[in-house]
Amino acid sequence: MFVKICVFASLVGYVFALERGDLEKYGPFRLMLNSPIIKCVQNRSLNLDVNETILYFYDFAMGFNKAFPIHNAAEGMLNLTNLDKSRQFIMYVGGFTSAIEKDIEEQMRNAYKTYPNSYFMIPDHSAYTYNKGGIGIKSYERSVTYVHFIGKALGQMLVGLKKGGVSPKKIHLVGHSLGGQILGHAGATFLNITGESIARITALDPAGPCFTTSSIEYQVRSGVAEHVDIYHCNSGALGSSSLLGDVDFVINKRGEVQPTCNTPIIPGLFDSSRAASCSHRYCIDVWTSTVKDSNIFPAYRCDSYDKIKTEECITYMTIAGSANPGTEKGVFYFSTEQSLDLDVSATYIYFYDFSRNLTEVYPITDSAKYILNIKNLDKKRKFVLFVAGFKSQIHKKTETQVREAYKTYYIGKALGEMLAELKNGGVSPKNIHCVGHSLGGQMLGHTGETFNNLTGEKIARITALDPAGPCFTKNFINEQVRSGVADYVEVYHCNSGGLGSSSILGDVDFIINRKGETQPNCGTPIIPGFFDSSKAATCAHRTCVDVWTASVKNNKLFTAYSCDSYKNFKDGKCSIEKTLAGAWNPGMVKGIYYLSTKDYDLKAIR
Query: What is the pLDDT, as a whole number, of residue 531?
Result: 42
Report pLDDT for 25. Answer: 46
Q: What angle do CA 390, 112, 185 make, to 5 degrees?
A: 105
What's the confidence (pLDDT) of residue 261? 81
554: CB partners within 8 A, 6+ apart:
605
Q: How many CB atoms are closer than 10 A to CB 525?
A: 14
- Amino acid symbol at 134: G
Residue 491's closest CA among 510, 468, 512? 510
231 φ, ψ to 5°?
A: -120, 130
Which string of DSSP letters, residue by residue, matches 97-130?
T--TTSHHHHHHHHHHTT-SSEEEEEEE-HHHHS
User: What SS3 class is residue 581?
Assistant: coil
| CA–CA gap between residue 471 and residue 465 (Å, rounded) | 17
- Give the residue from 60, 149, 77, 68 showing the smallest Cα distance to 113: 60
**What DSSP designation does 94 have?**
-
Contacts of 568 (CB under 8 A, 6+ apart): 574
Q: What is the pLDDT of residue 530?
A: 44
Q: Which residue pairs, CB below 8 angstroms and at least 24 apart, start in 43-50?
A: 43/145, 44/148, 46/145, 46/149, 47/149, 48/128, 48/145, 48/146, 48/149, 49/149, 50/125, 50/127, 50/128, 50/146, 50/149, 50/150, 50/153
Among 9, 66, 68, which residue's Cα sits nearest to residue 35?
A: 9
Q: Quick one: angle between helices 439-455 and 408-424, nearest 10?
A: 40
Query: Which pLDDT value is given to residue 110?
Result: 94
C-alpha pair distances (Å), 513 with each of 496, 521, 537: 11, 11, 14
d(CA 299, CA 286): 13
pLDDT at position 295, please? 80
Q: Which residues contact 539 (CB under 8 A, 6 or more apart)?
A: 519, 521, 522, 523
Which parts of the chain have pLDDT scores under 70?
1-37, 131-136, 262-272, 308-312, 314-315, 337-343, 390-407, 524-533, 599-606
Specify the DSSP element, H or E, that contains 55: strand 54-59
pLDDT tens-digit series, residues 188-199? 999 999 999 999
What is the rounded distance in angstroms from the CA atom of residue 168 to the CA atom of residue 579?
71
Residues 90 and 114: beta-carbon distance below 8 Å: no
Contact 222, 246 (CB under 8 A): yes
The DSSP symbol for 496 reads: B
Phi, psi of 465 (to 5 degrees): -95, 105
In this prediction, residue 157 carries a pLDDT of 98
CA distances from 180 to 186, 218, 239, 360, 531 (A): 10, 11, 10, 41, 44
- Look at residue 183 and give its three-state secondary structure: helix
Q: What number of residues does the chain have?
A: 606
CA–CA gap between residue 377 and residue 229 (Å, rounded)? 51
CATH architecture of 44-334: 3-Layer(aba) Sandwich (3.40)
In this structure, the number of other CB atoms found within 10 A of the CB of residue 354 comes to 7
The whole-number pLDDT of residue 305 equals 73
Find residue 119's DSSP bridge partners.
89
Cα(367)–Cα(400) distance, rounded to whole angstroms?
14
Each domain of the chain, given as residue ranges in start order, spans 44-334, 348-605
Of 475, 36, 451, 17, residue with least CA distance to 259? 475
- Distance of alpha carbon 507 from alpha carbon 511, whole angstroms: 13
Do the beta carbons of residue 111 and residue 291 sit within 8 Å?
A: yes
What is Dmax (Cα atoms) for the chain? 88
The Cα–Cα gap between 445 and 402 comes to 16
- C-alpha closest to that of 70 among 91, 56, 89, 90: 56
Helix (H), strand (E) at residue 32: helix 28-33
pLDDT tens, position by position, 62-90: 999 999 999 999 999 999 999 999 999 99
**44-334 and 348-605, same CATH topology:** yes
Beta bridge partners of 174: 92, 202
Classify the phi-psi angles of 472: left when phi > 0, otherwise alpha if psi is within -120 to 50, otherwise beta.
alpha
pLDDT of residue 160: 98
The pLDDT score that the predictor gives to residue 80 is 97
CA–CA separation, 419 and 408 (whole Å): 17
Rounded Cα gap, residues 460 and 483, in angstroms: 12
- 371 by Cβ neighbours in 10 Å (0-12 / 13-18 / 19+) ranks as buried
Q: How far is CA 429 from CA 368, 437, 464, 489, 516, in A?
A: 14, 21, 18, 14, 31
Are 516 and 503 in contact by the 8 Å Cβ rule? The answer is no
pLDDT at 384: 86
Architecture of domain 348-605: 3-Layer(aba) Sandwich (3.40)
SS3 annotation, 37-53? CCCCCCCHHHCCCCCCC
Q: What's the confidence (pLDDT) of residue 7?
A: 40
C-alpha–C-alpha distance, residues 305 and 334, integer Å: 8
